[in-house]
Amino acid sequence: MADCIFCKIASGEVNARIVYEDPETLAFLDLNPQAPTHVLIIPRRHIGSLTAAAEADAGLLGRLQLAAARTAKQLGVEGAFRLVTNNGKGAGQSVDHLHYHLLAGRKLLWPPG
Ligand code: DGP
């Protein structure tokens, strides 16, 4: 998607602090961190949101979660982290490219606000 900031990060056109990558997924530091560790995990291919994912994306969705777990281990936060996606504007989604937030390094309240 030409005007998608996360597609531009995935293609290397826009810089980001990448902490994990494989052929299908990418993890990079959030520009506006909400916790000491705040990483975004995205598919390289554009999918607008979780509800935009198709049956054929099932494998990719699983690999995104494995990428998140690997990233958590790499950053030493595998014992306590939260993985969350905001789906839709009403839930706080501001970038229309599927992404999971990996948050760690502080007390994480439940329920989230
Ligand atoms: P959400 O509100 O759930 O759609 O989360 C989008 C996140 O993306 C938000 O926490 C800020 C982050 N973000 C937006 N633009 C950029 C960018 O250009 N670079 C990086 N690293 N993060 C970005």
Domains annotated for the chain, with CATH where assigned, are 5-104 (3.30.428.10)
51 pLDDT band (50/70/90 cuts)?
A: very high
Ligand 1 centroid – CA 30 distance (Å): 6
Q: Express each pLDDT in 82-100 by its tens digit.
A: 999 999 999 999 999 999 9
Instruction: Say if residue 1's pLDDT is above 90.
Output: no
109 pLDDT band (50/70/90 cuts)?
A: very high
**pTM over 0.95, yes/no:** yes
Which residues, other chains included, contact 36 with Cβ-Cβ below 8 Å and sequence gap of 6+?
Answer: 104, 105, 106
Q: Which residue out of 38, 46, 97, 99 is catalytically annotated?
A: 99
Residue 109 tokens read as 């309240």
Q: Express each pLDDT in 59-70 by its tens digit.
A: 999 999 999 999
Q: Which mutation among 95, 97, 98 tests ligand 1's pocket best, with the greatest number of atoms within 8 A of CB?
A: 95
Q: What are the beta bridge partners of residue 30?
A: none
Main-chain phi, psi angles of 43, to 5 degrees: -80, 145
Q: Express each pLDDT in 35-44 by its tens digit.
A: 999 999 999 9
Share of the chain above pLDDT 90, in %: 96
Q: Who lines ligand 1 at CB under 6 A?
A: 5, 16, 28-32, 40, 86, 92-95
Around Cβ 80, how many Cβ atoms within 10 Å? Answer: 13
- The verdict on whether 46 is a catalytic residue reads no
pLDDT of residue 22: 97
Which protein residue's CA is at the shortest distance from atom 3 of ligand 1? 93
Omega cis (within 30) before 111: yes
